[in-house]
Structure 1
Amino acid sequence: MATQVSAELQPIIAAFSEVLDQNPDAPAVEQGDVVRSYRQLSEAAQRIADQLLNAGVISGQRLALDLPRSIALYETILGCLVAGISFMALPRGLDQTKGLETAKKANCVGVLSNNPLFPGDGIAITDIGRFFKLAECTQTPAKDSKTGVEIYCVRTSGTTGEPKVVPINSGQLTAFLDNTQQTLAAPKYAKWLWIHDLSFDFSIWETFGCLAHNGCLVILDEHIKRDAKATFALMVKAGVNILSVTPSEFRYIFSQANNQHCVESLHLTDVIFCGEKLSPSTLLAVFDELSRHRVRLFNTYGPSEATVFCSHHLISKADLELESIPIGKPFPGMKFELVAINELGVGELVLRGAQVFDGYLGGELITDGYHTSDMCQVVGQGKFVCLGRSSGYQKINGFRVEPYEVEEYLQSIPNIDEAVVLVENSHQGSFLMACIRVQKGAQLSTRDLRLACSKLPPYLRPARYLLLNDDKWPVNDRGKTDRLALRRSTCGEI
């Protein structure tokens, strides 16, 4: 696989070269009944790279991708690697106007799409789509930084403000892949499920992680992901070994399953959790069966700014007795530090190390680590626990309140899977509203919650509660709890 970044992405290049040399006809990717070998994947990536360069995209520039999760998209991102072109996937939920606006703001040279974006035809990229050049682009080919050349960009979700663009360079991606190989030690030649939108960087682990382990990528079609039974059936039929999910997605996929039967029908070796806080209740129903079949469960942590995830914790039976599953210890070459620590040993987590990005697109360089706004504490054996996200102190009737502290307390109450505490405002003043996801099959009332919260100081007690079952709990396109949708909810129990 000849590539301009080959010298800097050794985990991918070494793995690709190995399989092409030893077993080029091994399956590299499958979607439905269509299977591509590593030889075919390499040839497609080279063909796409040549066509992009011939279309006028220059190595070092940034290209927006507007393509569905597919073999074609997998071939395209590898083609970008070959050509030395950075890619940024546009969220699939964006309409055409917002998609183009997003690409322009990120200073992309153009958009590669299988949809007609402009009256003109664009330049055809065989079996992929058409390249539409953006006249507004002012980007010149990037110069190598101390952390290498830019490989991809991802947009933050924007839940805490305007979305930002996070560029990840070859040095940061190499550190991530090296660290995951060393700490998670996923089996080689396994089948990996690609379940996430490429605009969510958990998919970087699914795609490049699979490639670095000589695996076969099993693609979950976008329409199938919305059907838990169909998703589960695909995992069984394809023999998926590596499943990477958010806790919300895990609950969704296993929601319809008979625990013993469902685990026996699977071929899982590893489940990697990321993207959300993992509560023990998520695992209670299936943990014993998964353990009996020697399935390893890892909880990981990391924002996009630290290249997908940068900590790991192998989950044990004892963890199910805790209020929250630890995020574990940092990867080699990463340093976790808590700042502004309170009397309970809780502080904001600051990340430093080889996986931390250089800075937001158009922003200043990161010089003193990345401040996550996530509140953590250290427990036994130096493991970290993430308690929640700090949005800063809120004033409620003159008292300073951190919503994550109330969330942590609520999640310690039996029959609660997850709690989100929002600050609402009315003509009578500000108050706390607690959105509660009730455990499957459990009975819980507002009265039960008020009684449990009577142990809290009055100013920490929610004034209103919204109780939702698992099937009503909103999840966004990234597989995470949709806090904006919860905020928009107007119904509740007083």
Structure 2
Amino acid sequence: SIIHDTITDQLSCSIEASLDLFNPSTTYKIGQRFQILLQQLFTSDLTNETCQSIHKSSIILPNEKLLMESVNNTQTLFSSSTHCIQHEFIQQVNKQSQKIAIELDEQSLTYNELLYYAQCLSLEFLTNSNYIPGNVVCQCIDRSISMFIGMLSIIMAGGCYCSLSPRDHEHRLQSLIEQTQSNLVLVDWTTQNKFEEKTMIININTMIINNNNNETININHFDLFSTFTLNSKNVAFVIFTSGSTGTPKAVQIMHYNLLNCMSSFNDLGILTKNDTVIQMAQCTFDIHVKECLGTLLVGGSVIQLHPEGTMDYDYLSKIVQRHHITFFSVVPSVMTILYNYLIDRKQMTRLNTIRKFIFLGEAIDTRTLAKMITTLNLDTTAFYNLYGPAETTIISIHHRVTVHEINYGLIPIGLPFPNTQIHLFDSFNQSVIVGQEGELLISGSGVFAGYLGRDDLTNKALIEINDKRFYQTGDLARMGSNGLVYYLGRKDHQVKIHGQRIELDEIQRCLLDTSISACVVIKWGNDHLIAYVQSNDNNVEYLRDHCRSRLPPFMVPSRFIVLEKFPLNANGKLDRKLLPQPNFSSSSIKTTDIQHTNPNNSIEEQLLSIWCEILHRNNNNNNEQDEISTSANFFTVGGHSLLFIQLYHRYQSIFSFTNELLSIALFLQKTTIIEHAKLLNSIKSTDVIREETWQSLHLIKGMASFAQERIYLDQQVRFMNNVSVYNELIILKLLNGTLSKSHLQRAIQSVLEKHQILRTCLILDTDAGTLTQCVTQNHLMFMFNTEKTFKNDNELNSLIFQIKTNP
């Protein structure tokens, strides 16, 4: 209530609040905010701001302003502020010329050797009539030593590096080249045939061979480097991100942006010259630049994996162990599968050399992290949660995760990088209070130069506040009372799948280029994209092929659902709630128009069973397996890349073959049961000597161990009077509160389901003279026996004795 004192001509305010709903500190803060609001209203210039909206008034408290100023007090100086990337790299060469810079299997280059080859190739550019310093040069090279040489040589020649994925369709590659207006494309022998004849290409493999056979570069060659000038504000590389307009956006990152980012990594101790980094990211992602160029700029060593090496967890984990990897950057969902794989095979020690686990791209799975901290040395191992869109140069917010946060299950994205400032704004472009949700805006030395050729999109993405450029991320976040930022989600329809940023509008516009009249794409669960299309034509395969030719693989919808007419609400707009839910196990919704085929032999039947297990189709429905055609593509029946990795390792487990004999790449090229059966049949006649024995991860029956035989025999011979000496009896007494028997029963059932040993029984075959152990399903029938009750301690002791002697 507000009271006007006519004598003193003053206003007084009192706030009454129910302590059942508010604690005193909250009520006090409400009063403070109201007072601040009144001060602004009564001290404002009434002549100029009479019509000002109340939303433009701030209710931020002085201590909150001080907290935000403290969080954004990140200004630091770094030595390479006027340098370019190649200058910083040459400095590292001068410091440690013979240190290994890059290694792949049996190949390696020192810093000095890498500089030599990069200079040779950059001279090729400078003498090529189609090359213009400052222009974009695209590179389409798979994982290799050559990829590093090409990347560095483009930048040394004053060009702008842009990586293209060898996995992309030719149509998409050509579209991206045209968008960058690139005059040259750097290729190798495996990718040179992916481009049209009009595209000017340079084969890096041919160049390296020619230079090995010719004389070394001399002082006269270096005159060519003086024919162009560069500064730290020149664009160094371009990264494509998904675009809401239907066309990918080319993010331009300057030399200054990357150098400041890597200087921050080094100053914070996250990535230093003492680190050995395994290169995990795909070449089209911004984190790829940090792993490759960034590691070299701080003086570290990079261990490259062969193509598809990130999907072969046996090969990957061996590389980590063999090369003593210390820095491991990974998407949390991939880390979960890798952890489960190594734990199942008792090989978690392969990761013991890692000192820094870097999680980025999506929310950390605290359940996996909680398990990991029990197997790793926390005194020497750190976990980092990093955040940053491509437009702010790889990483802009960081946080070192604590054990308390892991156990609590809530991990912030943290505090801004050096020379980075953040703001949280509401829908009225006003700063939000501590704890309130707002859009995350980022300013500082990481903010990009703009989208290549799209000034309209650049102007929408960047706004100016107090003479500083801020990038509007579209991410929603809140700031805690300690200044740490917590990610909350998106304000638009942009989604992420396995850490990969996807604009759903780009997929929709791609589909609208066909004959369909309307479409909508949604994210389903954590792993799938579902495309609803309105059309009279049910040719789903045509739609899928159209998307494959124009979109990267991770943006192709898992399922296409054709509807004659979209459901509309009363206003005539699409009612998303009425769209049919995708059901990957339902035969009522066909994913393809390919004729259904059943298994023709025992191995196809076995593979069908494995697919159903991986895709979680085994739910006691006899028709479940019949719904997966042996000619169906794994990725159209509910599969995705992480499930495919599990499928491959299940094949290895059951059919006992190494990745050297059959790599995962072969299975990715042929993704049906029929084709997988042919691949697996090819190894039947091959004499394979394995380094280790693979065992099934889901055995339910097997021979008893020696220890189990001894216990069984001991029980039969010495304890024939039904005394259960091997059972441990525990009594829990409830002192306070109430106990839900149904909840407790479900909890015990969950424990029994998780730990197979608790529901394993021993069966003696007297005819064969063998003792086998079998995993039962008794947990499904587990029930409490509530008939036995007691009135005093004597009756309780008697009841305990009966249970012990008659289990």
Higher helix proportion: 2
Match status 1:340 vs 2:426: yes
CA distance in 1, matches of 2:351, 2:300: 21
Q: Given the superposition, is the C-alpha separation of residues 371 and 71 from structure 1 closer, same or farther in structure 2, using an over 3 Å criterion?
A: same
The alpha-carbon deviation at position 232 of structure 1 amounts to: 1.4
Q: Residue 248 of structure 2: SS of its match in structure 1? A: coil
Aligned residue for 1:303?
Answer: 389
CA distance in 2, matches of 1:322, 1:468: 32
CA distance in 2, matches of 1:12, 1:302: 24
Q: Is the 8 A contact 1:229 1:253 kept in 2?
A: no
Q: Is the 8 A contact 1:44 1:75 kept in 2?
A: yes
CA distance in 1, matches of 2:110, 2:229: 34
Moved more, 258-267 or 195-204: 258-267
Q: Given the superposition, is the C-alpha separation of residues 380 and 301 from structure 1 closer, same or farther in structure 2, using an over 3 Å criterion?
A: same
Q: Given the superposition, is the C-alpha separation of residues 434 and 271 from structure 1 closer, same or farther in structure 2, using an over 3 Å criterion?
A: farther
CA distance in 1, matches of 2:475, 2:645: 22
Alignment of 1:475-490 (within 5 A): none
Aligned residue for 2:475?
Answer: 374
The alpha-carbon deviation at position 270 of structure 1 amounts to: 1.0
CA distance in 1, matches of 2:356, 2:245: 32
Q: Is the 8 A contact 2:139 2:161 kept in 1?
A: yes
The alpha-carbon deviation at position 380 of structure 1 amounts to: 3.8
Residue 246 of structure 1: which of 331, 338, 356 is its match?
A: 331
Match status 1:427 vs 2:567: yes
Residue 127 of structure 1: which of 191, 205, 226 is its match?
A: 205
Moved more, 420-429 or 62-71: 420-429
Aligned residue for 2:294?
Answer: 209
CA distance in 2, matches of 1:173, 1:470: 30
Q: Is the 8 A contact 1:334 1:351 kept in 2?
A: yes
The alpha-carbon deviation at position 64 of structure 1 amounts to: 0.8
CA distance in 2, matches of 1:377, 1:243: 28
CA distance in 2, matches of 1:324, 1:169: 35
Q: Given the superposition, is the C-alpha separation of residues 128 and 298 from structure 1 closer, same or farther in structure 2, using an over 3 Å criterion?
A: farther
Aligned residue for 1:47?
Answer: 120
Aligned residue for 1:37?
Answer: 110
Alignment of 1:290-439 (within 5 A): 290-292=376-378, 294-340=380-426, 345-364=436-455, 365=458, 366-368=462-464, 369-391=470-492, 427=567, 429-431=575-577
Aligned residue for 1:455?
Answer: none
Q: Given the superposition, is the C-alpha separation of residues 14 and 363 from structure 1 closer, same or farther in structure 2, using an over 3 Å criterion?
A: closer
Aligned residue for 2:236?
Answer: 151
CA distance in 1, matches of 2:206, 2:490: 40
Q: Is the 8 A contact 2:187 2:204 kept in 1?
A: no
CA distance in 2, matches of 1:17, 1:129: 26
Q: Is the 8 A contact 2:272 2:299 kept in 1?
A: no
Match status 1:189 vs 2:290: no
Q: Residue 341 of structure 2: SS of its match in structure 1? A: coil
Match status 1:106 vs 2:180: yes
- Please identify the structure whose Cα radius of gyration is greater: 2
CA distance in 2, matches of 1:420, 1:198: 22
The alpha-carbon deviation at position 75 of structure 1 amounts to: 0.9
Q: Is the 8 A contact 2:141 2:165 kept in 1?
A: no
The alpha-carbon deviation at position 307 of structure 1 amounts to: 0.4
Deviation sequence 1:6-61 (CA, Å, 0-9, x none):
9844676345424x334322111100011111111110110010011112312111
Q: Given the superposition, is the C-alpha separation of residues 161 and 276 from structure 1 closer, same or farther in structure 2, using an over 3 Å criterion?
A: farther
Q: Residue 376 of structure 2: SS of its match in structure 1? A: helix
RMSD after superposition: 3.9
CA distance in 1, matches of 2:528, 2:477: 17
CA distance in 2, matches of 1:311, 1:51: 39
CA distance in 1, matches of 2:229, 2:567: 54
Aligned AA for 2:477?
C
Q: Given the superposition, is the C-alpha separation of residues 177 and 22 from structure 1 closer, same or farther in structure 2, using an over 3 Å criterion?
A: closer
> What is the number of equivalent residue pairs in this alignment?
413
Q: Where does structure 2 lack aligned partners over 5 or more consecutive residues? A: 1-79, 209-226, 465-469, 495-524, 533-562, 569-574, 584-613, 620-636, 647-807
Q: TM-score, normalised by structure 2?
A: 0.46
Deviation sequence 1:369-423 (CA, Å, 0-9, x none):
1111111011241011111122169xxxxxxxxxxxxxxxxxxxxxxx9699999
Aligned residue for 2:314?
Answer: 229
Residue 341 of structure 2: which of 244, 256, 260 is its match?
A: 256
Deviation sequence 1:302-328 (CA, Å, 0-9, x none):
000000111110011111144442110
Deviation sequence 1:131-162 (CA, Å, 0-9, x none):
xxxxxxxxxx99978x6111000000347853
Q: Where does structure 1 lack aligned partners over 5 or more consecutive residues? A: 1-5, 131-140, 394-416, 436-440, 447-465, 476-494
Q: Is the 8 A contact 2:332 2:363 kept in 1?
A: yes
Q: Is the 8 A contact 2:186 2:204 kept in 1?
A: no
Q: Is the 8 A contact 2:412 2:487 kept in 1?
A: yes
Aligned AA for 1:257?
L
Moved more, 303-312 or 78-87: 78-87
Q: Given the superposition, is the C-alpha separation of residues 384 and 421 from structure 1 closer, same or farther in structure 2, using an over 3 Å criterion?
A: farther
Aligned AA for 1:219?
Q
Q: Is the 8 A contact 1:305 1:356 kept in 2?
A: yes
Higher strand proportion: 1
The alpha-carbon deviation at position 340 of structure 1 amounts to: 1.1
Q: Is the 8 A contact 2:263 2:298 kept in 1?
A: no
Aligned AA for 1:24?
S
Q: Given the superposition, is the C-alpha separation of residues 262 and 221 from structure 1 closer, same or farther in structure 2, using an over 3 Å criterion?
A: same
Q: Residue 288 of structure 1: SS of its match in structure 2? A: coil
Q: Residue 186 of structure 1: SS of its match in structure 2? A: coil
Q: Is the 8 A contact 2:475 2:490 kept in 1?
A: yes
Q: Residue 238 of structure 2: SS of its match in structure 1? A: strand
Aligned AA for 2:475?
D
Q: Residue 382 of structure 1: SS of its match in structure 2? A: coil
Q: Residue 168 of structure 2: SS of its match in structure 1? A: coil
Match status 1:282 vs 2:282: no
Q: Residue 373 of structure 1: SS of its match in structure 2? A: strand
Q: Is the 8 A contact 2:150 2:204 kept in 1?
A: no
Q: Is the 8 A contact 2:318 2:350 kept in 1?
A: no
Q: Residue 271 of structure 2: SS of its match in structure 1? A: coil
CA distance in 2, matches of 1:267, 1:224: 19
The alpha-carbon deviation at position 221 of structure 1 amounts to: 1.5
Q: Residue 357 of structure 1: SS of its match in structure 2? A: coil
CA distance in 1, matches of 2:441, 2:239: 20
CA distance in 2, matches of 1:390, 1:108: 34
Alignment of 1:453-492 (within 5 A): 471-472=642-643
Deviation sequence 1:213-261 (CA, Å, 0-9, x none):
2111100122222212221122112221111111122223223112885
CA distance in 1, matches of 2:413, 2:87: 30
Q: Given the superposition, is the C-alpha separation of residues 180 and 160 from structure 1 closer, same or farther in structure 2, using an over 3 Å criterion?
A: farther
Q: Is the 8 A contact 1:228 1:252 kept in 2?
A: no
Q: Given the superposition, is the C-alpha separation of residues 381 and 315 from structure 1 closer, same or farther in structure 2, using an over 3 Å criterion?
A: same
Aligned residue for 2:168?
Answer: 94
Q: Given the superposition, is the C-alpha separation of residues 237 and 474 from structure 1 closer, same or farther in structure 2, using an over 3 Å criterion?
A: closer
The alpha-carbon deviation at position 469 of structure 1 amounts to: 11
Moved more, 329-338 or 172-181: 172-181
Match status 1:177 vs 2:262: yes
Q: Residue 298 of structure 1: SS of its match in structure 2? A: strand
Q: Residue 253 of structure 1: SS of its match in structure 2? A: helix
Residue 271 of structure 1: which of 357, 362, 383 is its match?
A: 357
CA distance in 1, matches of 2:165, 2:397: 26
The alpha-carbon deviation at position 105 of structure 1 amounts to: 1.1
Deviation sequence 1:427-446 (CA, Å, 0-9, x none):
373229799xxxxx9x9xx9
Paired-residue identity, %: 21
Aligned AA for 1:382?
G
